[in-house]
Amino acid sequence: MEEQPPWAATDPVGEALHVLRMSGTFYCRSELAAPWGMTLPCTPGSLWFHVVTSGECELEVTGGGEPVTLRPGELLLVPRGDEHRLRSAPGVATPDIRSIPHPMLDDRYALLRHGGDGDATRMVCGAVRFEHPAARGFLDLLPALIRVGSTAGPDRCHDTLRLIAAEVEDLRPGGEAVITRLADVLVIQALRQWLAHDRAARTGWLGALADDRIGRVLAQVHRDPSRDWTVTSLASVASMSRSAFAARFTELVGEPAMAYVTRWRMHVAADALTSGDATVAELAGRLGYRSEAAFSRAFSRTVGEPPGALRRRSDRSVSGSLVQTLES
């Protein structure tokens, strides 16, 4: 069993974000002058973020309600990768960003200069992915937009926003590297803040993670999926009776405990298969199955295809990064 970070025992939500493995795929520093506008395409499985460091802009998620205005010191997340539009003012044309020149300064970082000769806006935008196969379900639980508003009070998100703004306004050697790392930190901070304070985060899988007893169980399953779990042993982790635990787990998570254990094991297996990390036989043993056949049956039933088929499809596929999507 892997050694766990020191905060894991007391922060199942934080541990879940750690397990889902966030990585940045595209970052863009934009220097814009009104009138300007752009449309960012739908990118399923990616989370977009937008930070205005000077000026302002309007953001509208396609089919997602009223536009919102983003000003310095604020952050907007588009968690599900929905198509959305950015523009200097209502009614301004928003061409597809792929039609707007944005030279790549390295393999993930672009510089975009766009617009007319009016008021200036500077932004840092980007997209991140959570690499674990379970992440898609996590992103689907998030709202169409998450907004972190400006405030004068102390807040870690706003400390990071101020650091990003300072880097953009006074770019020095290595500034792109600093901005990308700060942006990754900012996304995690924003998600953590939303999970802590938004009522919608108190339901479903997210709410179960935050529950004192069920969250403890989920964390143990995530850490050690190969253990010979039973409802009785899981109930012991929760310090509950077997019947009370089974009812509460199903109520909060939306499925029985052992169904969740199996599904999480198959997420782990799919992750290893797509990364080329292990053979089917090795995974069967690693995840506590007594035979490759039993593991393959469980995988096919949960994922919808045999593990060997997923491995072959992964071997044939070309990595589809967001940069490739934007440049296509």
Q: What is the CATH number of the domain that holds 290?
A: 1.10.10.60
The pLDDT score that the predictor gives to residue 318 is 33
**Mean pLDDT across the chain, nearest whole number?**
82
Distance CA 129, CA 323 (A): 12
Distance CA 3, CA 257 (A): 24
Q: Are 163 and 84 contained in the same domain?
A: yes
Domain boundary residue, one of 152, 171, 200:
200
308 lies in some domain: yes
Domain boundary residue, one of 147, 179, 200:
200
| pTM confidence score | 0.71
Distance CA 243, CA 32 (A): 60
Q: What is the mean pLDDT of residues 250-267?
A: 91
50 lies in some domain: yes
Q: 34 CB contacts (<8 Å, ≥6 apart)?
A: 88, 89, 92, 115, 116, 118, 119, 120, 121
Q: Are 183 and 56 contained in the same domain?
A: yes
Q: What is the CATH number of the domain that holds 135?
A: 2.60.120.10
Q: Are 46 and 185 contained in the same domain?
A: yes
**What length is written for the chain?**
328
302 lies in some domain: yes
Enter the tokens of residue 320: 């589809």
Enter the tokens of residue 164: 């990003």
Residue with tokens 């689907």: 140
Q: Are 179 and 223 contained in the same domain?
A: no
Whether residue 235 has pLDDT greater than 90: yes
105 lies in some domain: yes
Q: Are 163 and 118 contained in the same domain?
A: yes
Domain ranges, residue 82: 19-200
Greater pLDDT, 180 or 170: 180
Q: Are 122 and 239 contained in the same domain?
A: no
Confidence of residue 277 (pLDDT cuts 50, 70, 90): low
- Please give, one letter per residue, the 3-state secondary structure of the chain: CCCCCCCHHHCHHHHHHHHHCEEEEEEEEEEEECCCEEEECCCCCEEEEEEEEECCEEEEECCCCCCEEECCCCEEEECCCCCEEEECCCCCCCCEHHHCCCCECCCCEEEEEEECCCCEEEEEEEEEEECCCCHHHHHHCCCCCEEECCCCCCCHHHHHHHHHHHHHHCCCCCHHHHHHHHHHHHHHHHHHHHHHHCHHHHCHHHHHHHCCCHHHHHHHHHHCCCCCCCHHHHHHHHCCCHHHHHHHHHHHHCCCHHHHHHHHHHHHHHHHHHHCCCCHHHHHHHCCCCCHHHHHHHHHHHHCCCHHHHHHHHHHCCCCCHHHHHHC
33 lies in some domain: yes
The pLDDT score that the predictor gives to residue 121 is 95
Do 119 and 68 form a contact (C-beta atoms < 8 A)?
A: no
Q: Are 173 and 220 contained in the same domain?
A: no
Q: Are 179 and 243 contained in the same domain?
A: no
298 lies in some domain: yes
10 lies in some domain: no
Q: Are 196 and 219 contained in the same domain?
A: no
Instruction: Give the pLDDT confidence of 284-327 residue by residue, as tens digits.
Output: 888 888 889 989 998 888 888 888 777 776 654 433 333 555 44
The pLDDT score that the predictor gives to residue 147 is 86
The pLDDT score that the predictor gives to residue 95 is 94
Q: Are 246 and 119 contained in the same domain?
A: no
Cα–Cα distance list, 128 to 34, 116, 131, 236, 321 (Å): 28, 29, 9, 37, 10
Q: Are 55 and 116 contained in the same domain?
A: yes
Greater pLDDT, 239 or 269: 239
Number of domains in the chain: 2
Greater pLDDT, 258 or 196: 258
Domain boundary residue, one of 154, 175, 200:
200
115 lies in some domain: yes
The pLDDT score that the predictor gives to residue 314 is 60
Q: Are 48 and 190 contained in the same domain?
A: yes
